[in-house]
Amino acid sequence: MTAGTLALTGAIVPLAQARGSDTMRVGVIGCGGRGSGAARNCVESSSGVEIVALADTFEDRLQGLKKQFKVPNDRCFVGLDAYKKLLALDDINLVILGTPPGFRPKQFAEAIRRGKNVFMEKPVATCPAGIKMIIEASELASQKGLAVVAGTQRRHQQAYVETMKHIHDGAIGDLVSAQCYWNMGALWVDRAKTNWENYKSGKWSDVEWQIRNWLFTKWLSGDHICEQHVHNIDIINWAFDAIPEQVHGQGGRQYRTEPQYGNIFDHFGIEFFYPGDVRTISMCRQIDGTAGNVSERVVGTKGSAYMDSSGNCKIEGENAWAYNGPTPNPYVVEHADLIKSIRSGNPLNEGKRIAESTLCAIMGRESAYSRQQFNTKWFMSRCTLDLLPPDDLKLSDSKELPPFAIPGKYQMPGWVQPSRGRRRG
């Protein structure tokens, strides 16, 4: 235990307060739909949890939580630097990070620097520069004895946990193949339209529009493969207990083409290459009226495992089995696990793991944008893509939204086209 050294830095004080049955004093950064949901889940999860401070870019977004938890005015912070003000409060020992993912790396690093335990929503970055920042801060969290849990709630869903135990115990043998999907219809249709009207009418600046419309803004959401499909990719990483070595993908913007949908795609198909040249399918789509499928499947030499978030998790083959245990709400369990780990003095730290799963989604996206195949090592060492917001970003700023990617035109930062002859079939 490193408490001795950490005590010297002074950062351990709030942590010490959290031990035992002490009250969890929670600050929420990002009070939109998910941030608010996470805050309520957190309160529900354990006794002795209080929401004591709020931060959001927009005043209108934090009203719901403010009212519900009677947070006084002087502990509600608004603006792009609101998170810094909240994190400067000494009496907070846990923060929930629920802002758009593009903001996460800097906010997470600041939270760890300030000695806070962290619950952060997925994904945790939209670019490799952000991934590096998350990994570094996670290492610092370990050194400081701080807990980090990420909102990939399947990791805390009992049906998944049990299925993974079976897989890791060899129930389906060696893994030879896998598939994961997030195929769904449209979302935020009305919101995107209203946002666009506010932007086009001049009511909102570029930056305000992009943040309010963050789901469709690449630097903020990381595109839907990153924002949403990361859940499923994370499961495949979990099953393999590894991340892919290589990636090749495709994707595009075929149906959702109007300008209110920013610069993201509406479909991706990615091939991930896990160690031992095990190749997997990753497919995601957000097109209204199309076939839905949100699930994962892992195939081994002795059988296969199927999983989806309804808790329908089973193994077929030599060791057939199906989960039929209790199904507590994983969005609550993840907070219970987090708080239990803080109170017990054995803090969970999921930082590196969620950074890696986010990285896979980002690599898939960049491969689809550029249609290039590359390996993870290359991406982490050579890809210079940096979408992190500048520290002096203002809500009123002009910031042109880059066009959506067109293969052949999209330049992946750091990519050098290898010189070789054209292949024929």
Site residues for another protein per CB under 8 A: 173, 176-177, 179, 181, 183, 248, 250-255, 266-269, 271, 277-279, 281, 283-285, 287-291, 293, 297, 299-302, 304, 316, 370-373, 405-409, 422-423, 425
Q: Residue 312, SS3?
A: coil
As measured in angstroms, the least distance from the Cβ of 408 to another protein is 4
Residue 68 dihedral angles phi and psi, to the nearest 5°: -60, -45
Q: Which two tokens stand for residue 209?
A: 């529009």
Q: Residue 316, SS3?
A: strand
- If the CB atoms of residues 106 and 297 are measured against another protein, the closer one turns out to be 297
Q: How long, in residues, is the chain?
A: 425
As measured in angstroms, the least distance from the Cβ of 228 to another protein is 14
CB–CB of 30/54 below 8 Å? Answer: no
Q: Which two tokens stand for residue 118?
A: 């962290």
- If the CB atoms of residues 144 and 297 are measured against another protein, the closer one turns out to be 297
- If the CB atoms of residues 113 and 279 are measured against another protein, the closer one turns out to be 279
Dump the DSSP string for 238-249.
Answer: HHHTS--SEEEE
Q: How far apart are CA 364 and CA 141, in angstroms?
A: 28
Locate the DSSP E strands across 263-387: 267-274, 278-286, 293-300, 303-307, 313-317, 321-322, 373-375
As measured in angstroms, the least distance from the Cβ of 421 to another protein is 10
As measured in angstroms, the least distance from the Cβ of 403 to another protein is 10
Residues facing 294 on adjacent strands = 182
- If the CB atoms of residues 36 and 304 are measured against another protein, the closer one turns out to be 304
- If the CB atoms of residues 33 and 185 are measured against another protein, the closer one turns out to be 185
- If the CB atoms of residues 130 and 300 are measured against another protein, the closer one turns out to be 300
As measured in angstroms, the least distance from the Cβ of 168 to another protein is 19
CA distances from 334 to 45, 141, 149 (A): 8, 18, 7
As measured in angstroms, the least distance from the Cβ of 33 to another protein is 26
